[in-house]
Amino acid sequence: MPSLKMDAPQGKTELVSRWTLDAGDYIAAAELSRDGRLCIVGAGDGAVLGIDVDTGREVFRHVAHPGGVLAVSMAPEGTQFATSGQQPNAKIWKATGELLRELPGGGSQWVDHVAWAPSGGRIATAAGRTVRVWNADGEPLLETEPLPSTVSNIAWRADGTALAATCYGGVYIWPFVADAKVRRFEWKGSLISLAWSPDAKVIACGSQDSSVHFWRLATGQDSEMSGFPFKPKALAWDSESKLLATSGDATVTVWDFRGKGPEGKRPIQLESHKSVCTRLAFSRRKCVLASGSQDSSVLLWEPRRTAQPVRYAFLEDEVTALAWHPEHQGLLGGDASGNLRFWEVS
């Protein structure tokens, strides 16, 4: 249980829980299918769970990576999902829970990251200093040269035509269109988080030095937002690529990319958590931001309208996962003690 738990925001409405489930261990990753019917959860004990979103019923539970699951990713069409963890191979599963195939990690002890391209057809994995891309049948399409350090994050462009990866020294982008060249944006530091804007114009990264660095891809222009007390491990864009929410403190900082961008503007400061923000997620259909904290609180914000939270909820421990229903019909949260909860959002 966390040592600090915030009080309910005065005058705000608590979210109604549709269901609660005990996953059994730390919630490392959670993702909902595009149709909103299935939730895939990866746990610290190595289990992968399939959960019916409407009822909260556990559809399946398998030991996927005995040392612990690190990432899960649903295929766009919803018929398959991928997992990675503390095991030398990533794995591809049917949405019904049957294992289909394994993707080798290339000799690494575990595969840190896995991400299905938004347009389908390609799966990216990162193990150690190497990024690999596969087709849906598990055939290799790309293996990069070793990067300067361990890959800290990977993210697909929204249309699936390029893949970005971060490590110490900058951002790398591999295109999947004819005659396009690999791009590199250098940064003398260790990048620990990555968020590619939905319009594909900006890549933002949290840095080990407690700053947020971003690049405008059309020009290569870079900028830095510094002064965070802690490392900004959580980043989230709104669906219109206008607002970037960043962690790095109990206060959530939102940067406005409208017009000429955030340079020279005062950011929006969202203050209510009592401890460091750990997770951020914008709803795809409305400009509603969900934030989770070490203090177990989950807050909903409408940053374009007010700097005060509009709804709230609690888990039992540090918030480790947040995922919106694709139609803005609910929010999934998970915590460090293995508690899963799905709240109604109207």
Residue 5 has pLDDT above 70, yes or no: no
Residue 300 lies in a domain: yes
| pLDDT at position 11 | 62
Residue closest to 211 by CA, chosen among 255, 176, 177: 255
pLDDT in tens, 75-100: 999 999 999 999 999 999 999 999 99
Q: pLDDT grade, residue 264 (50/70/90)? A: confident
Q: What is the pLDDT of residues 239-251, one digit of tens each?
A: 999 999 999 999 9
Q: What is the mean pLDDT of residues 317-345?
A: 96
Does residue 249 lie within any of the structural domains? yes
- Whether the per-residue pLDDT at 298 is higher than 90: the answer is yes
Instruction: Please report whether residue 296 resides in a domain.
Output: yes
* Mean predicted confidence (pLDDT) in 155-168: 96
Given this model, what pLDDT does residue 328 score? 87
Query: pLDDT-based confidence at 223, cuts 50/70/90?
Result: very high
Q: Would you state the pLDDT for residue 4?
A: 54
Q: What is the CATH number of the domain that holds 245?
A: 2.40.128
pLDDT of residue 56: 97
pLDDT at 170: 94
Q: Could you tell me whether strands 311-314 and 339-344 are parallel, antiparallel, or unpaired per DSSP bridges?
A: unpaired
pLDDT, residue 107, reads 81
Q: Is residue 346 part of a domain?
A: yes
In the chain, DSSP finds a helix count (H) and a strand count (E) of 0, 31
Give Cβ neighbours of residue 85 (< 8 Å, ≥ 6 apart): 28, 42, 46, 64, 65, 67, 68, 69, 70, 71, 110, 111
Which range is least confidently modeled, 8-12, 85-89, 195-199?
8-12
- Please indicate, yes or no, if residue 184 is contained in any of the structural domains: no
Characterize 267-287 residue by residue with b for buried, 16 or more Cβ atoms within 10 angstroms of its Cβ, and e for exposed: bbebebbebbbbbbbbbeeeb
Q: What is the pLDDT of residue 1?
A: 39
Confidence of residue 334 (pLDDT cuts 50, 70, 90): very high
pLDDT confidence band for 211 (50 / 70 / 90): very high
Residue 238 lies in a domain: yes
Q: How many CB atoms lie within 10 A of CB 142?
A: 13
pLDDT band at 289 (very low <50, low <70, confident <90, very high): very high
Please tell me the pTM assigned to this model.
0.94
Across the range 149-162, mean pLDDT stands at 96
Structural domain count of the chain: 1
pLDDT over 60 (residue 3): no
- Asked, for residue 32, whether it belongs to a domain, the answer is no
- Closest listed residue to residue 289, CA positions, set 250, 246, 259: 246
pLDDT, residue 12, reads 75
Give the pLDDT confidence score for residue 2 in this predicted structure. 41
Mean pLDDT of the chain: 94
Its domain, for residue 327, covers 234-257+272-346
Asked whether residue 240 is assigned to any structural domain, the reply reads yes
Instruction: Report, as an integer, the average pLDDT of 29-55.
Output: 97
- CA pseudo-torsion sign 190, 283, 345, 249: positive
- State residue 189's pLDDT score: 87
Q: Which pLDDT does position 120 carry in this prediction?
A: 74
